[in-house]
């Protein structure tokens, strides 16, 4: 608590000194029909707008948490840990997650707790629920969206000129390793780092020229150089996953979560408006 208080005070002090510095900044930000707008006026307006938005956001949060207490709702440690794991797995590497968590873990855990508590509050207050029949109906009406299309695991070499592409192609024909060649020759930094690995890609997201070219290539083979945008590319097909129809029993839990989340988001703003209408809120200046 003391550390959090010190952090808040530090921010407040920095903001105060920044405001003083800005107040002395009479340089011109813009001129409208001869009338000057000073930088310190812009900064003050920005600060006030940000302050107002943040204050209103915190008021909404407090109202929702208060409602959660009235409904006797709580969030377990298990639920918080599960959400934290979901956030961690969304990062490409563990180092990025640990960097974000550094000195911010308690704040993040509190944010997660509030997020889950607010979700539970809206679900309870608005009686959001879906029966198995509801899920089956939604599944039947949207089955094509749930089917998994055919996906192709691709690896790419991308260069700027036709000559570079032809040289790379000759290298492949001579037995060069595709991944190593991509790391050496590709002009795109991401391709350099991962040996041109694009992962599994659906044909539906590919431009026609590429889709047509890879359709003629078997697993383990690669295309001839193709003109794409401002450069040239060679694509290798490493694997193909056939299209599979969706299975209701396998996706019903995920479908239910998706529908609940959509309903929560749809009800959030009107529910907060209801709470504001019943609350006594004093804005102090």
* pLDDT tens by residue, the chain, 285 residues: 333 333 333 334 334 444 444 445 678 888 877 888 888 888 888 887 888 888 899 999 999 999 999 999 999 999 999 998 888 888 877 887 888 777 788 888 999 999 999 999 999 999 999 999 999 999 999 988 888 888 999 999 999 999 999 999 999 999 999 999 999 999 988 899 999 999 999 888 888 888 999 989 999 999 999 998 889 999 999 999 998 899 999 999 999 999 999 999 999 999 999 999 999 988 776
Helix axes 2-23, 39-70, angle to 10 degrees: 150
Name residues whose C-beta falls within 8 Å of residue 273's C-beta, 6 or more positions apart in sequence: none
Instruction: Quote the pLDDT of residue 206.
Output: 86
d(CA 151, CA 242) in angstroms, rounded, equals 7
Q: How many CA atoms lie within 13 A of 106 on its CB side?
A: 4
What are the structural domain ranges in the chain? Answer: 1-58, 132-144+245-278, 148-241
d(CA 185, CA 163) in angstroms, rounded, equals 12
Instruction: Quote the pLDDT of residue 7.
Output: 38
In this structure, which topology does domain 148-241 adopt according to CATH? Answer: Chitinase A; domain 3 (3.10.50)
Instruction: Quote the pLDDT of residue 16.
Output: 42
Q: Return phi, psi of residue 118, to 5°.
A: -65, -40
8 Å CB contact between 160 and 231: yes
Closest to 250 measured CA to CA, from 146, 152, 150: 146
8 Å CB contact between 195 and 155: yes
Under DSSP, the state recorded for 222 is B
Q: Report residue 40 CA to chain centroid gap.
A: 34
Token digits of residue 204: 């539906």
d(CA 123, CA 116) in angstroms, rounded, equals 11
255 burial via Cβ count (<10 Å: 0-12, 13-18, 19+): buried
pTM score, whole prediction: 0.63
The helix/strand/coil state of 195 is: coil
Instruction: Quote the pLDDT of residue 284.
Output: 76
8 Å CB contact between 226 and 234: yes
């Amino acid at each position: 608590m003391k550390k959090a208080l010190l952090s808040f005070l530090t921010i407040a002090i920095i903001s105060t000194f920044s405001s003083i510095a800005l107040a002395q900044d009479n340089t011109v930000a813009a001129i409208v029909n001869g009338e000057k707008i000073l930088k310190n006026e812009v900064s003050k307006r920005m600060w006030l707008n940000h302050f107002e938005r943040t204050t209103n956001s915190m008021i909404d949060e407090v109202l929702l948490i208060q409602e959660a207490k009235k409904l006797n709702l709580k969030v377990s440690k298990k639920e918080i840990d599960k959400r934290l794991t979901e956030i961690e797995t969304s990062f490409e590497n563990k180092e990025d997650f640990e960097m974000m968590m550094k000195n911010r873990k308690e704040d993040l855990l509190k944010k997660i707790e509030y997020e889950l508590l607010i979700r539970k509050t809206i679900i309870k207050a608005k009686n959001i629920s879906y029966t198995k029949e509801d899920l089956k109906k939604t599944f039947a009406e949207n089955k094509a969206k749930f089917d998994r299309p055919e996906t192709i695991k691709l690896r790419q070499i991308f260069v700027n000129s036709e000559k570079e592409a032809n040289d790379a192609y000759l290298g492949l024909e001579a037995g060069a390793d595709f991944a190593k060649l991509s790391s050496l020759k590709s002009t795109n930094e991401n391709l350099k780092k991962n040996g041109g690995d694009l992962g599994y890609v659906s044909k539906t997201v590919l431009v026609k020229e590429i889709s047509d070219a890879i359709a003629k290539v078997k697993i383990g083979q690669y295309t001839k150089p193709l003109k794409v945008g401002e450069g040239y590319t060679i694509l290798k097909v490493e694997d193909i996953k056939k299209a599979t129809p969706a299975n209701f029993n396998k996706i019903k839990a995920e479908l239910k979560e998706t529908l609940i989340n959509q309903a929560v988001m749809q009800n959030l703003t009107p529910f907060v408006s209801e709470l504001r209408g019943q609350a006594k809120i004093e804005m102090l200046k």
